Amino acid sequence: MSGRTKKTAEAIGSALTDHEVSFLALQLTGKFVEKIKKLDKFENNDYSAVESELSTLDASKYDLIIIGMPTYGNFPPKVFNEILRRMGNLNGKMIISFNTARFSGGKCLDYMKEQIKEIGGKVIDHFKFRKLFWIGTKKAIQFGKRVNENVKS
Ligand SMILES: Cc1cc2nc3c(=O)[nH]c(=O)nc-3n(C[C@H](O)[C@H](O)[C@H](O)COP(=O)(O)O)c2cc1C
């Protein structure tokens, strides 16, 4: 909605220097009220606002998937479940999950991990980026470096 998760993902990706990285962001556009309306449509399984991005998802091409979500009301937006569904078979696939939040976020990250594990994904690392105001890139780059070192191509 406001680019905090995208910024964090880009910073993580920038630190994965030993790996070939593909990056896909799902962004809601428009004024705040329009974004909220689009977010609300997800509750009715209407993902038309991000359909073109969703239609490109295919986990089979990747060894590792890093998936990040914002926290809305202690949970990721419902499109998270749709993203997992659209990626295809995640059984045994290495996955790293992260979320961004302003004041909470633990429950959201736990939920993400549970959902990924439920469909067979192997969550090898996770991180909660919580910042009330300005979300910088320092922690994200540190996290990216950790992933870069721990995951061998
Ligand atoms: C409708 C709404 C609900 C939110 N709910 C929470 C919440 O439950 N806990 C929290 O810590 N932050 C909450 N936030 C803050 C966002 O999680 C945080 O700003 C996040 O980094 C936004 O990422 P984005 O810019 O990628 O959308 C909420 C923000 C909005 C707009």
How many other β-carbons are positioned within 10 Å of the β-carbon of residue 95? 25
Q: Residue 145 above 90 pLDDT?
A: yes
Take atom 26 of ligand 1 and give the residue whose Cα is closest: 5
45-102 pLDDT, tens digit per residue, is 999 999 999 999 999 999 999 999 999 999 999 999 999 999 999 999 999 999 999 9
Mean pLDDT of 28-34: 96
Q: Residue 118 above 80 pLDDT?
A: yes
Distance 105 CA to ligand 1 centre (A): 9
Take atom 9 of ligand 1 and give the residue whose Cα is closest: 104
State what percent of residues in the chain have pLDDT above 90: 99
- For residue 4 and ligand 1, the question of a CB distance below 6 A is answered with yes
- To test the pocket of ligand 1, the residue of 72, 83, 128 to mutate (highest count of ligand atoms within 8 Å of its CB) is 72
| Domains in the chain, CATH or no CATH each | 4-150 (3.40.50.360)
Give the neighbor-by-neighbor strand order of the sheet with 122-130: 64-70, 94-101, 122-130
H-only helix segments in 15-137: 32-42, 51-54, 79-86, 106-118
Q: What value, to the nearest 5°, has the Cα angle with vertex 72 and ends 75 and 151?
A: 60
Distance 101 CA to ligand 1 centre (A): 5
Distance 2 CA to ligand 1 centre (A): 9
- For residue 1 and ligand 1, the question of a CB distance below 6 A is answered with yes
pLDDT tier for residue 152 given thresholds of 50, 70 and 90: confident
Give the model's pLDDT for residue 14: 98
